[in-house]
Chains A and B, each alone.
Chain A
């Protein structure tokens, strides 16, 4: 299945592939690390530079940027509690906790190692099985997406922390926020107060930047003394043999879930990250460490992100259907050079496909090299005196938010969510369920209503689609297990109180 000589020939014919892969990774990491700048925006900014370029090098540049950006999102997630991209939101949980324990270098090493492994897995599947696997995307119906979304939401039950009720509340608030904007079916405006800025709803990244980064800044500012800078963690530490063995299961879980998510257009990497986080927790020998700096809590979502960045190209190249914004930009890159992705791409532009594959392989090496070079100054930066650092982060985060649509209104929303996040922290309401609600709410709602239009209002459609039925059963299983565990734990603690 692997045409190594084809890839080599493409590399010889277009040697610019190599610098393009390195440049894409470097640009992608920078873009992904800037809060607010999504992978697709990072890629779109490069489009003008691809005009005069060799078509193969141009698509390699864009595809490498995608991988770089997916990885780059984890750097601020770990170092400053701000996910650079939506899909890095799950990495915040244990990444920042490890950083707080003085293990920033170790957390960054785990993240890099896991993204790389996930990407190797994804690229291998992309190279060998694009055409047969592309058909899988078609098996996913609106009902299946509802199942997937509900499965994602079911994670709320296990991520609620000490209070399930508070977790549910936060999840519901998130779902309510997701209803703001234009109704996906009728086009009516909901909770927009005639403000055109609200017609597209509230972008999830604003919620994340607000409740993670801005709230953290408020929290830090309200503490009387700055924590002493720890210089001991100012070095990247790749996992040793013992750690690698510990991470293996969570990385396999992440890579597999990322693979499935990448194949399904519309699924999105964020669900993959949260689902793999949750699964890694369930399969871990030390689940109690999750949320308090578990290495597996970084490995699972980051390996999922790496896997998604390669497998998301499968439906785009195999079918000509872009499943995500990033895939759409890559599709645009093909179109600008007069190539139409889809089944014909493999016959009409075989050399470009081989070149892209070769470029994806090179981008894996590029990721390792460039990330290693970039991480040292990043760690140095976050170890500066905190009063300077906090001001820098505040400026960075708000300018990133402003850059999304050059909108001060968005800056206001992020600040408002900062206040909400701070209040939630104060009242010990978990924020993760709210993020999940915001990210998944629109997807679940639009697919649910779409499925009902297609079935003429018959809810049996969710049972008749085997994928949806399986996903829903798993989701309800998760919820049930979490409920039982929750009530068992609360009964135990009640007994302890009584016996004391």
Chain B
């Protein structure tokens, strides 16, 4: 009798995760966005979460936990119970650049998470103020090299995509420039439109209207193909700097230890959202690109995050050492 009881308990324990996954999700899922509402990561997260809610039959509720360059919210998600009811929308800053930027990062972007799927790729462009003398990227690079420390580079804050993207650009061409830090992309955009500083490297969604109006000029886009949003702007390959390939990306993570079945369910729901015409249309309308299929698998995304850390962390360490 005792043996049978123990056997039953063991069987129940073994069956629980599977049974749990079968009934998942039984309630609303908390989606941590580690930035303020209204920003790029928030908007991407909300657009995808809306369709995922329909697929999963439960509401995905966005919780904005901003602070410390997105690391506060990411750390909270890493420490959450791994039951599939707390997930995270991270991005290049929180899960790649942060490794080089924060010596005591409170989480490991690879080891502390289950990787659900990449959600978006957002092209990065190199832009100059409208009356800047250089007309092409090669002219700009020549000017930068001829006169180091002359041309100011604005960015949306230490650790932001615009900061690390320009660090990558200047380190590639072997130049330096004084950096003007702003509190967010909005104020940085305001000041390049009014001609306060010379150049900016940032994700294109919020820049497109300004480029189309001629308020700023895009010299190149750091991806292999031209952007449908800015078809006249050459790629960095066309413009003579093929090594400069960069994008701001968003991806969905779950705390380490989340049952595999649940991760698979979340992955399927995220993929269904990205394949949905309406969701795709909304993401493309804000200038985002639907990620490649291989980065939309759990394993593929993990490899992608590792590669991104390898790319951005050394640049950020270099930047941090320059500051000190």
Complex alpha-carbon distance, A368 and B182, angstroms: 38
A415 contacts chain B at the CB level, 8 A cutoff: no
Report yes or no: A187 in contact with B159, Cβ–Cβ below 8 A.
yes
Report yes or no: A184 in contact with B181, Cβ–Cβ below 8 A.
yes
How close is B223's CB to chain A, nearest CB, in angstroms?
20
Per-position contact with A for B99-122: 1 when CB-CB < 8 Å, else 0?
Answer: 001001010000000000000000
Interface residues of A (CB under 8 A from B): 40-41, 43-44, 47-48, 51, 137-139, 141-142, 182-188, 194, 196-197, 199-200, 265-266, 315, 319-323, 325, 328-333, 335-336, 338, 340-344, 405-406, 446, 450, 453-454, 456
B173 contacts chain A at the CB level, 8 A cutoff: no
A51/B50 contact (C-beta < 8 A), A321-B189, A454-B152 known = yes
A454/B196 contact (C-beta < 8 A), A137-B190, A182-B158, A186-B323 known = yes
Give the tally of cross-chain contacts (CB within 8 A): 154
Residues of B within 8 A of A41 (CB): 37, 64
In the complex, residue of chain A having the shortest beta-carbon distance to the beta carbon of B212: A344
Report yes or no: B64 in contact with A44, Cβ–Cβ below 8 A.
yes
Report yes or no: B193 in contact with A330, Cβ–Cβ below 8 A.
no
B187 contacts chain A at the CB level, 8 A cutoff: yes
**Residue of A321, A336, A453 touching B190 (CB-CB under 8 A):** A321
Report yes or no: A187 in contact with B158, Cβ–Cβ below 8 A.
yes
Report yes or no: A343 in contact with B209, Cβ–Cβ below 8 A.
yes
How close is B170's CB to chain A, nearest CB, in angstroms?
15
Complex alpha-carbon distance, A265 and B208, angstroms: 20
Residues of A within 8 A of B259 (CB): none
Interface footprint category on B: 35 or more
How close is A200's CB to chain B, nearest CB, in angstroms?
4
A329/B320 contact (C-beta < 8 A), A141-B196, A343-B209, A450-B182 known = no
Residues of B within 8 A of A336 (CB): 43, 46-47, 282
Residues of B within 8 A of A196 (CB): 68, 71-72, 75, 106
Report yes or no: B46 in contact with A47, Cβ–Cβ below 8 A.
yes
**Residue of A48, A266, A342 touching B210 (CB-CB under 8 A):** A342
Report yes or no: B193 in contact with A328, Cβ–Cβ below 8 A.
no
State the main secondary structure of chain B at its contact with A.
mixed
Residues of A within 8 A of B210 (CB): 320, 342
How close is A462's CB to chain B, nearest CB, in angstroms?
14
* Known A47-B46, A332-B42, A450-B180; 8 more pairs at CB < 8 Å: A47-B62, A138-B194, A183-B158, A184-B158, A199-B69, A200-B66, A340-B285, A453-B179
The 6 closest A-B pairs by CB, nearest first: A187-B158, A332-B38, A44-B37, A199-B68, A342-B209, A328-B38
Residue of B69, B101, B180 ringed by the most chain A CB atoms within 10 A: B180
Report yes or no: B182 in contact with A335, Cβ–Cβ below 8 A.
no
In the complex, residue of chain A having the shortest beta-carbon distance to the beta carbon of B76: A406
**Residue of A320, A342, A453 touching B152 (CB-CB under 8 A):** A453
Report yes or no: A322 in contact with B158, Cβ–Cβ below 8 A.
no
How close is A415's CB to chain B, nearest CB, in angstroms?
20
Residues of B within 8 A of A321 (CB): 186-187, 189-190, 193
How close is B205's CB to chain A, nearest CB, in angstroms?
8
B157 contacts chain A at the CB level, 8 A cutoff: yes
Complex alpha-carbon distance, A391 and B189, angstroms: 47
How close is B97's CB to chain A, nearest CB, in angstroms?
11
Residues of B within 8 A of A194 (CB): 104
Report yes or no: A199 in contact with B67, Cβ–Cβ below 8 A.
yes
A199/B38 contact (C-beta < 8 A), A187-B158, A319-B193 known = no
Complex alpha-carbon distance, A330 and B186, angstroms: 13
Residues of A within 8 A of B38 (CB): 40, 44, 322, 325, 328-333, 335
**Residue of B43, B67, B104 touching A335 (CB-CB under 8 A):** B43
Complex alpha-carbon distance, A138 and B216, angstroms: 13
A453/B186 contact (C-beta < 8 A), A328-B36, A328-B37 known = no
